[in-house]
Amino acid sequence: AQSVTQLGSHVSVSEGALVLLRCNYSSSVPPYLFWYVQYPNQGLQLLLKYTSAATLVKGINGFEAEFKKSETSFHLTKPSAHMSDAAEYFCAVSEDTGGFKTIFGAGTRLFVKA
């Protein structure tokens, strides 16, 4: 069965600093992995996705994530944080086991300090 663990419910960085949001997954088959962002009072928006092509995935707004099978990780990074990056970030996993289901992590709230 698939599962997603996001380490750290809250992460705080200074503007211009590196952003690192951690995600580990469990899946019995090759997974599809996603990062979504949720701004206040809005729905979720796709940042990037991994679908077994390149292990380093580039997304919108300067974010990228690297799929590491040996570590079962899919951490999200951005070299330089901007105030507008403050939001809730969700890691998600989907797998094909004869039926569809996407599991979302608990979310990490990113705070960006001026």
Partner 1 sequence: SAVISQKPSRDICQRGTSLTIQCQVDSQVTMMFWYRQQPGQSLTLIATANQGSEATYESGFVIDKFPISRPNLTFSTLTVSNMSPEDSSIYLCSVSRGGQGLEEQYFGPGTRLTVT
Whether the Cβ atoms of residue 49 and residue 37 lie closer than 8 Å to each other? no
Among 18, 20, 60, 106, the residue binding partner 1 under the rule CB under 8 A is 106
Residue number, 43 or 114, with CB nearest to partner 1: 43
Closest among 6, 42, 26, 40 to 97, alpha carbons compared:
26
- Binding segment for partner 1 among 17-25, 65-73, 74-82, 92-100 (CB under 8 A)? 92-100
Place of tokens 């701004």: 39
**CA gap 6, 106 in Å, rounded:** 6
Closest among 31, 8, 19 to 64, alpha carbons compared:
19
Q: In the complex, what is the shortest distance from the CB of residue 14 to partner 1, in angstroms, rounded to a whole number?
A: 24
Binding positions for partner 1, 16-75, rule CB under 8 A: 32, 34, 36, 41-46, 49, 51
Q: Say whether 107 sits in a helix, a strand or coil.
A: coil
Question: Around Cβ 17, how many Cβ atoms within 10 Å?
Answer: 14
Residue number, 41 or 70, with CB nearest to partner 1: 41
Q: In the complex, what is the shortest distance from the CB of residue 34 to partner 1, in angstroms, rounded to a whole number?
A: 6
Residue number, 18 or 106, with CB nearest to partner 1: 106
**Which residues sit at the interface with partner 1, rule CB under 8 A?**
32, 34, 36, 41-46, 49, 51, 90, 94-96, 100-102, 104-107
